[in-house]
Amino acid sequence: MITFVKFCIKLINLYNKRGQNYFIFQKFQAENIIKTLKNKLNLTCNSTVIDYGCGYGGYSSVLADYFQQVKAVDYYSSSQISEKQNINYEKADLISYKTAPVDFIFCTSVIEHIPKEKQALFVENIKDNLKKRGYLYLSFPPFLSLQGGHATYPFHYFPDKTAFFLTKIFRKANITSYSTMWGDWGLYKTSIKEVETMLLDNNFKIIEINSRFMPKWYSKFFGKIDFLNWHVEFIAQKRG
């Protein structure tokens, strides 16, 4: 229990400082996800891997500690991509990106930034880039979770115009639309049920739905409830 509390305190501290160094925030989370995930899914060091929407590269950096070759793919280039030699960075549109199918795709905090009308295509493209019986780790903060509104939380529970007004007053952020929250990319109101349906529609077998970093008993009872998930994670397998 003490260890878990210490972990949560460190995670919250890094979250609050993520604007200063998002790479470290990503890396800390990855260090507490990937080793367990690799063993659970019986992946080997030779398994082919894509960090699908790698962002600043913190997840890729840790993936590269466990797998011989990692593809780090994102819309935007990043100055913080790890210098590790076994990471191959590719700049690409994640909705249309094609590569030789791989054993494992790691995708976190991406789908909520894909326009709603393109999310199903995004999931379909992930499926196409996986081998038969390949594994997918997909996670995101549901919009109705406490942090789901990103820059507008906790005001995202209000109607949009009210949320933007309160965000401007109390958080000094001038937001006029979720779809343009950060200029040419945004945030879209995505739920656990929506993503679950997209995975099932795309021939995935869902192995687990968890509330990330929370105890198993918590995930068992609350794993599918948007409001009670700070960050939901799907572990799925493409059917053969």
Dist CA 107 CA 95 (whole Å)? 13
Q: What is the pLDDT of residues 204-240, one digit of tens each?
A: 999 999 999 999 999 999 989 999 998 999 999 999 7
Dist CA 164 CA 19 (whole Å)? 20
Residue 20 burial (10 A CB sphere; 0-12, 13-18, 19+): exposed
Domains of the chain: 2-149+187-238 (3.40.50.150), 150-177 (no CATH)
Dist CA 213 CA 216 (whole Å)? 9
Q: How confident is the model at residue 78 (pLDDT cuts 50, 70, 90)?
A: low
Q: pTM higher than 0.75, yes or no?
A: yes
How confident is the model over 21-27, as a mean pLDDT?
87
Dist CA 48 CA 43 (whole Å)? 9
Within the chain, strands assigned E span: 49-52, 70-74, 87-91, 102-108, 130-140, 204-211, 232-238
pLDDT recorded at residue 182: 86
Dist CA 107 CA 136 (whole Å)? 8
Residue 79 burial (10 A CB sphere; 0-12, 13-18, 19+): exposed
